[in-house]
Homo-oligomer: A and B are copies of this chain.
Amino acid sequence: MQISRYRIKLSRLKHIFISHLHGDHYLGLVGLLSTLHLRNRVEDLYIFGPAGLSDIITVHLRYAEMVLGYQIHFKSLDSGNSEVLVDNDSIYISSIPLDHRIPCTGFLFREKIKYHRLKKSNKLKNLTLEEIHTLKSGRNVMGPDETIKYSVNEYTEPPRKARAYAYCSDTRYNEDIIPYIKSVDLLYHESTFLGDLEQRAYETYHSTARQAASIALKAKVEKLILGHFSIRYKELYPLLSEAIDVFPNSHLAVEGQQISIDH
């Protein structure tokens, strides 16, 4: 329903990442899979989630006697270890072990930038397409006598910095995640409670706003988004305020908001 509300094209959906099997984190999935089928999807879909998710999807489809018109590739997550989930030319995605009441993982999305950027220059018009490709790939163009014909440093600038986003859903305060999320541009971290309920956060395997900000600070991330607020808080500003005291570039997650990461 939210995908529809925010006019996200279902055809752009290729991978789905489910952190854990509490209802507020996945109960819309089976309906989404049915909708994709009814909209005549044929492209493969990749789903990453706890092992039980495959059973859950299977039991729903079995009783509906429904055979999806597209194929699901399901990868069962190991909540105890970080795993590489996707590694292609454009992106690297891995899991982050979290500390929750049931098996739970976060996800790290790291962009890959392959190409150097050509410097604007009149000399470019002398180059062949193959030579330009060599330079953009970060290699010098060599002459017939093994000398450098065109230097990558002279003709190009290095690739822009690749962007990284880490999504850490339900978790206790856990410094073990810091190596995984080190220096990411954007960190989403749950922030269920205010600091005065730190004990309650511990008991329910959640974090306080201060703890989320502390993780952001220690991991030297660029920007922090707080979310997953307890319904007890009618006013969210105190959660934001508490986080900002520790990590100034903190923000509240707002349903439907788009956040750009620019360099």
Contacts and interface: CB of A to CB of B under 8 A. Distances in A.
A56 B57 CA distance: 10
A85 interface: no
* Chain A binding surface SS class: helix
A50 B63 contact: yes
A102 B67 CA distance: 13
B23 A34 contact: yes
Contacts of A31: 23, 27
Nearest to A231: B38
A255 to B, nearest CB: 14
A60 B23 contact: yes
A55 interface: yes
Contacts of A56: 59-60, 63
A52 B62 CA distance: 9
A149 interface: no
Interface in A24-69: 27, 30-31, 34, 50, 52-53, 55-56, 59-60, 62-65
A210 to B, nearest CB: 25
A65 B50 CA distance: 13
Interface residues of A, number: 20
A23 B21 CA distance: 19
Contacts of A34: 23, 27
Interface in A187-231: none
Contacts of A27: 30-31, 34
Contacts of A22: 64
A63 B59 contact: no
A65 B34 CA distance: 25
A55 B22 CA distance: 17
- Nearest 4 interchain pairs by C-beta: A52-B63, A21-B63, A23-B34, A27-B31
Interface of A: 21-23, 27, 30-31, 34, 50, 52-53, 55-56, 59-60, 62-65, 101-102
